[in-house]
Amino acid sequence: MRPLLDTVLDALRTGAQDRYGPLPTGGPDTVTAHVRTALGEVLPDHGTGDHEALRTLVHTLAAGAADPAHPHCAAHLHCPPLAVAVAADLAAGALNPSLDSWDQAPAASAIETLLTRALAAEFHDTPHPDALITTGGTEANQLALLLARERHGPHLTVLHGANAHHSVPRAAWLLGLPPATELPTPTGVLDPTTLADTLATTPGPTLVTATAGTTDAGLIDPLPAIADLCDHHGADLHIDAAYGGLLALSPHHRHKLAGLGRAQSLTIDLHKLGWQPVAAGLLTVPDTTLLTPLTHQADYLNATDDTEAGLPDLLGRSLRTTRRPDALKIAATLRSLGRDGLTHLIDHTCRLAQDLARLLDAHPHFELHAPPTISTVLFRPTHATDDDVATLRRTLLHQGRAVLGRTHADGRLWLKATLLNPHTTAGDLDTLIALLEGSTHR
């Protein structure tokens, strides 16, 4: 593999040089045309060989990428992965363990067990916390609703704020539950008074889903008050902390997550503020017995006599059967950086968002929506219409100069910068503002 990796690394470099900025220029039609020309026949009659195939495809991929390592690629919760995690992922791909039976993944299953228990203990101060590796927040939220359904039956009512991730009501639909009830969040977070009124008039078993790090603005629901209400009304609580959950590692930021450990389940993503290659999600629970409903038996994978003889049963660790050892890259990252190294990255990234917010707030040509809670900054050019804001974003995308998101708040459209690159500098922020300012004056 060594010569092939040299080819891959060279192609990544040359592709990035051809792209130059955070995004290829020209928009979807131009990028598709370039890819079509580079690939030619997708299934040729005669192969071109390993090096040519890798050189062409990797170069094309890199030249046409939205590069999360570029400081002006800041639209989504799309992080630049750490090199140590990417390298560990290569080992996982090479060995190809599948975590559906122990005899396919002896060491990988042990690594996953140790990792999930250690990470679960970071969020739940209980004797037997546990966690499942998922593909991300969507799968974790779906599992959380599934476990709640199995605890309470098919007439479970799911309550969530309008700020919740779209996967929550979708999971209720997928699981055959009654349509989820959406509560208004005019301030961007769940209002405890509104939730209290709803819980008081909701019959039967109820699951409240709160959010710690919304996708639009990075806001965190008032978790202690929500947990108190759930306790008072006998409702279960799930917290989607896919974005904000790892703030719990930081002494500077963990106060924002007070009440997190009171939930029956938590969604955490490490391919956001954990800088992992996708996919790297978690569903954590305060006690491993809460995962019992996932128990499943298939004789060729976890025969009863094998389990009784001591072979670990892995089928209850996921709804998936064939499953990559995503725990490996996470474990390698934690060992490499340690708690202090990961905390430093989290703190620095949040500080960058505060710096960008201050720059925008002080700038006469921009309006800041609010100081950031995590690392998302909402802003817009002063005196711009919503159409102006949308056009500005698309213009920057087509020019390949900046990748910014968009969201509605307070009845208006805002540009969204989601900072997840710890290597972004103050100079990069200045350049981004200058670029935006120049574009607004065209």
Is the pLDDT confidence value at 442 over 90?
A: no
Task: Report CA-CA distances (Å) from 184 to 72, 194, 208, 370, 381.
Answer: 33, 8, 14, 20, 27
When pLDDT is averaged across residues 119-140 and rounded to a whole number, the result is: 97
Is the pLDDT confidence value at 232 over 60?
A: yes
Is the pLDDT confidence value at 196 over 60?
A: yes
Structure confidence by residue, pLDDT tens digits, 391-412: 999 999 999 999 999 999 999 9
85 prior amide bond cis, ω within 30: no
| Token representation of residue 442 | 């065209």
**Partners of 212 in the β-ladder:** 220
| Token representation of residue 415 | 């540009």
Give the pLDDT score at 441: 57
Band of residue 133 on the pLDDT scale cut at 50, 70, 90? very high
Q: What angle do CA 26, 28, 31 make, to 5 degrees?
A: 65
Give the pLDDT score at 440: 64
| Token representation of residue 248 | 């719990």
Give the pLDDT score at 420: 97
Contact (Cβ atoms closer than 8 angstroms) between residue 108 and residue 327? yes
Structure confidence by residue, pLDDT tens digits, 292-348: 999 999 999 999 999 999 999 999 999 999 999 999 999 999 999 999 999 999 999
When pLDDT is averaged across residues 25-51 and rounded to a whole number, the result is: 96
Is the pLDDT confidence value at 439 over 80?
A: no
| Token representation of residue 268 | 């955490």
When pLDDT is averaged across residues 359-364 and rounded to a whole number, the result is: 96
Radius of gyration of the chain (CA): 23
Give the pLDDT score at 437: 87
Contact (Cβ atoms closer than 8 angstroms) between residue 179 and residue 256? no
Tell me which amino acid residue 276 is: Q
Distance CA 80, CA 418 (A): 12
- Which 3-state string (H, E, C) describes 296-356? CCCHHHHCHHHHHCCCCCCHHHCCCCCCCCCHHHHHHHHHHHHHHHHHHHHHHHHHHHHHH
Structure confidence by residue, pLDDT tens digits, 258-282: 999 999 999 999 999 999 999 999 9
Is the pLDDT confidence value at 253 over 90?
A: yes
CB atoms within 10 A of CB 358: 14
Structure confidence by residue, pLDDT tens digits, 208-230: 999 999 999 999 999 999 999 99
pLDDT above 70 coverage of the chain, percent = 99
Neighbouring C-alpha atoms within 13 Å toward the C-beta of 203: 1
What's the order of all strands across the beta sheet hosting 403-409? 73-74, 403-409, 412-418, 376-381, 366-368
When pLDDT is averaged across residues 220-244 and rounded to a whole number, the result is: 98
Average pLDDT along the chain: 96
